[in-house]
Amino acid sequence: MSDSGDDHVARVVNYVNEKVNEIAKNSNNFNNLNVAILTALNIADEFIKSKAVEESKYNQLESRSEQLINLINETQ
């Protein structure tokens, strides 16, 4: 992350802080370590779901591209 610009780093820090505050607010009995672990798990869950959506969109685009290429080849 050190190669990223200051603005990007600030956005990441703000995002993590928002997630920590959200979990801490909803989990009064948790210590800081438990809040940090839950935050990490929630962010990892969001990341994995986002990657799955991205992969699905990529596969759809790849399939459509192949269909278009086949249509073009059939018309030649």
| CA–CA gap between residue 56 and residue 31 (Å, rounded) | 38
Averaged pLDDT, 12-40: 94
pTM for this model (two decimals): 0.75
Amino acid at the residue 44: A
Q: Reduce the DSSP state of residue 51 to 3 states and report it.
A: helix
Structure token pair of residue 34: 């438990």
Amino acid at the residue 10: A
Q: How many domains does the chain have?
A: 1
| Residue 52 placed within a domain | yes
- Contacts of 13 by beta carbon, 8 Å cutoff, 6+ apart: none
Domain extent, residue 26, equals 6-75
| Residue 1 placed within a domain | no
The per-residue pLDDT for range 29-50, each reduced to its tens digit, is 899 999 999 999 999 999 999 9
| Residue 63 placed within a domain | yes
| CA–CA gap between residue 32 and residue 20 (Å, rounded) | 9
| Residue 15 placed within a domain | yes
